[in-house]
Amino acid sequence: MSSSNNPSSRKEKSSGERPSKAGNNFRQTFQEISIKHASRRRITNKIVSIIAIVFVIGAIIPLASILFEVIKNGVAVLSVQFLTQPPGAIGSDAGGIGPAIQGTLITVGLASLIGAPIGVLSGVYLSEFATTSSVKGPKQRAISFFANTIRLFNDVLTGLPSIVIGIVGYVAIVLALNSFSVWAGAFALSIIMIPIVSRVSEETLKLVPNSLREAGYSLGISKTKITLFIVLKNAKDGVLTGVILAISRIAGETAPLIMTILGTSLFFTSLTGPVDALPLRIWRLASQPYESAHGFGWGAALVLILIILALSASIRLIARGKGIRVRTETI
């Protein structure tokens, strides 16, 4: 009479049937296989971790041995006189590398002042403006063609031998001004710097989640302000890393400097005259046959490394101090 119980009993029946016999068998075989796999996976895991550690050590050894060698040989010559005096007579162990330190700071500083803004802005253009959607049709195609061309040139420029850039600086500025000059050196170095900064900035800015730009648009904020105060601010760390990377790279450049600032044993006089630089000085000292010159060379190398280290550390510290302390992982 009461068929009202049917649905529930029907439900039970159908749910009881579902895990079929074939399914049970498969579950069992699957479990057996996965147990076998698990032990193999543990062994593979161990082997791969060991290999990884070995390679990491392999990568660190040359780096550490260079550092060790530089410190071992360089520390001995470090002194106030060494850091501040101009080089003494060739072969003597008097004098120092004062002009080279000064020259490197001036040339690299000037190159950064030219290269970093251009590089960052070109990165901003490529990331934020070249893909704009408000223009459509042929104009947009022209813009994206232009952007791709810039990217291509960036890549080519990054791969260009630095001596070629030095020659360009020589032809464009040294010959034009008829004198080796700081300007020429800074120009050549900034050309090396720009593609690196531009590329890194573009990539970092692209990592800024679009939701932040949209949040900005939704508040009726202009694109310029969104780019400057929201996007760039958010990508600050990455952009700075790019700039530091580029500065480290140009601080160690030798070839373009031979063609542009020439190198001298005198202190800085004017932006239009020649100046010394650490890599140049290292190169000159190393090519001398005297033992004392080699010691000075090691010392100069150590100073160069320390300058670059101090630069990265201080820029990072400043960046962190100014912004909000908490660097959030979840953007």
Residues within the interface to another protein (CB under 8 A): 1-4, 6-8, 11, 131, 133-134, 136, 209, 211-222, 225-226, 229-230, 233-234, 236, 323-324, 326, 328, 330-331
In the bound complex, what is the minimum distance in angstroms from residue 36's beta carbon to another protein?
37
Nearer to another protein, 110 or 232 (CB): 232
Sign of the alpha-carbon torsion through 263, 266, 271, 277? positive
- Sequential DSSP letters for 61-105: HHHHHHHHHHHHHHGGG--HHHHHSPB-STTSS-B--HHHHHHHH
Nearer to another protein, 45 or 132 (CB): 132
Number of Cβ within a 10 Å radius of residue 36: 10
In the bound complex, what is the minimum distance in angstroms from residue 119's beta carbon to another protein?
22
In the bound complex, what is the minimum distance in angstroms from residue 245's beta carbon to another protein?
22
In the bound complex, what is the minimum distance in angstroms from residue 132's beta carbon to another protein?
8
In the bound complex, what is the minimum distance in angstroms from residue 218's beta carbon to another protein?
4
Q: Which amino acid is present at 97?
A: I
- Sequential DSSP letters for 133-190: SSS-THHHHHHHHHHHHHHHHHHHHHHS-HHHHHHHHIIIIIHHHTS--HHHHHHHHH
Nearer to another protein, 199 or 213 (CB): 213
Q: Which residues of 199-238 are buried (b: 16+ CB within 10 A; e: fewer)?
A: bbbbbbbbebeeeebeebeeeeeeeeebbeebbbebbeeb
Nearer to another protein, 78 or 230 (CB): 230
In the bound complex, what is the minimum distance in angstroms from residue 196's beta carbon to another protein?
24
State the Cα–Cα distance between residues 167 and 153, nearest whole angstrom. Answer: 18
Q: Are 261 and 275 in contact (CB under 8 A)?
A: yes
Nearer to another protein, 67 or 219 (CB): 219
Nearer to another protein, 40 or 136 (CB): 136
